[in-house]
Structure 1
Amino acid sequence: MESLLQQIKEHKAAIAAFDANNADEVEQFRIKWLGTKGLVKAIMGEMRNVPNEQKKEFGQILNEFKLFAEARFQELQDQFAGAATAAVSHSQDFSLPGDPVAVGSRHPLTLVRNEMVSIFKRLGFSVAEGPEIEDDWHNFGAMNLPEDHPARDMQDTFYIKKPEDGNGPTWLLRTHTSSVQARVMENQKPPIRVICPGRVYRNETVSARAHCFFHQVEGLYIDENVSFADLKQTLYFFVQEMFGKDVKVRFRPSYFPFTEPSAEMDISCLICEGKGCNICKHTGWVEILGSGMVHPKVLENFGIDSNKYTGFAFGMGVERITQLKYQVNDLRLYSQNDVRFLKQFTGVV
């Protein structure tokens, strides 16, 4: 016992006198005294040789010795941790410029969509949105599309669920944002002046000119004494604001079930400047939207008096407008998430 107590006394003196010059020496101290094969653990192992009547007294001595070694190790650790922190703080030069922060850019479709919305807002249009999963009535029936219309064919529409017994609605992915117009007319009385931006879906083969999903901006204006001249001037204003004053415009008669009369609008191709390319099919003109006066039957479907109110509607693809504005020759680029393509577009509209 006496020799063991003397040994502990000597060890405590050595621990107290130990001084380290660097973090490596602190680690060597830990290994020597507190490691798995260290001296503290060896001394603790002598407990088995102490007589039972002295175990309590000797256990307190051993525990105090262990705590003494651990406390000295903590002091050494704190000493060099503080020195390391001070070294780092003194090594920083706060006059240097900061590291640049990588800033992303808006998707080109988002940029163009926001610009389109901004143009029509200046004409008094408000934004209306609706569900992408739609029922047959709002997507087709309310828009004067009979059940045998080709647009209802499975080759064009992604149907989700049809009732097995023929009762209840048929659910589908909307093929146009005209369904949003239907919901607006269902819940709001004239005057109505809205644009309906959103994503739509059609079962088409993916190519440079077409995709199975794309984006539209449709417009609807219903009030007393609305004429086709109002429609034309609205679209003239949009085209000039979007593409500039020099762009040429033409209207062609067309047919849509929900408008009468109907027209498609072309602008001179901005990619080839009217000389002819694969985008304009070598005609020099690119069709950008369909339009017309709202069919009286559509108004009546929502309880709007077609003898008192008239209106016009139009719809265009955001991808097509973006294609012309930024001269993109492949619609598939918009959805491929290629950073080399996306980082070319900057700005917030």
Structure 2
Amino acid sequence: MTADDDQPAGSARSGLLSRRNLIVGGTAAAMAAAGATGVLMYNPPSGTPRPAPDPSRPAKTTVKPAGEYLGAMVGAPIDQAALPRWRADVDTLVSHGQNLIRTSVYAWLVAPAKFEWNPEASAFYRDALGYARDRGLAINMVVPGSPDWSQDYPFEDYAEACSWFWTTMRDNFDDMVDLWQPYNEADHSHYQKFTGAPREDSDEYARYLGEFGYMLGVAREVLGRNGTPVTTNLTGWPMNDAREQEWYTVLDAIQPALDVLSLDLYPADSESEIARLAERVERVRQRYDKPVFIAEIGLQTTPGSWTEADQRAYVPAAIKTLRTGKVWGICLYELRDNESPAGFGIIRQDGSQKPGFATVMSAMAPK
């Protein structure tokens, strides 16, 4: 989830997450290349997986070793009044030995109208991100395909807007970003629209995966132009064998375009599923021979779902299980509750700590 997205609504135990997707686009060539049916994987020209690096920016190292990153999702500030909260959350992560912050920017602030970039908003976010960088945090930037103004565009126009937005985001923020994430759980939420993605048993599913994989490849070439790794996250609720098999179906189509594979894991209060997390992740890692990042793990504490005591018990257990394996990094979802009723934070909206704060931070402590 990102600050530019609706947060998961509070729910009963039978329905943990209800999400809007971050929208993303690509190029008209994707439509032609995908054909009427079938899955098309992204295939860059032989020997040239990315364009030449921008000479005005230094080259970056690509993917770091397993276990490198530990951190949490922190909602982006919306204005100057929100900066103290942002800085306090950054300081909290740093004081507990974390080295990663997963966040976003409000696309409607930096790009308020068609092909219009707001330099003041961009400078505001560079200042906010700079505080995190100066405190030693790497940045996992979640970015939509393009702002809401292009959501209902015909495909070719939408693709043009996406390419412009990704390029402008890269040119303004790439020197601060360590991992780009286009899309948010686009395996279940349509990459372009605020609707559900086609389901596996539908006629549109194969074509959807082909377009999804191709567009991620476009994102990798645009956002990853200077060597910054690119990922996208897949949903992990409910956590079971069927969900793991669905990961394989989706990743078979999209992983050629990814440097890092990202999974959102929500085993909730299932002790048997918590115990199996590391083996599930290891199967994904071995199948594709790519690092696996746990982009989200947490438990909501809203009325009618789970309690703060549940969060204290089950989230640290899940994190400890994952850290027995070869994960590239783990990101808590999330550090602080936001204005939605979802309640995934280990800190309440007013800044007070929930009972699980200390045990979760202990489980996330660097080794």
- TM-score band by shorter chain is under 0.3
Higher helix share: 1
Structure number with greater Rg is: 1
Q: State the structure with bigger RCO (CA 8 A, min sep 6), 1 or 2.
A: 2
Structure 2 length as normaliser, TM-score? 0.21
Higher strand share goes to which structure? 1
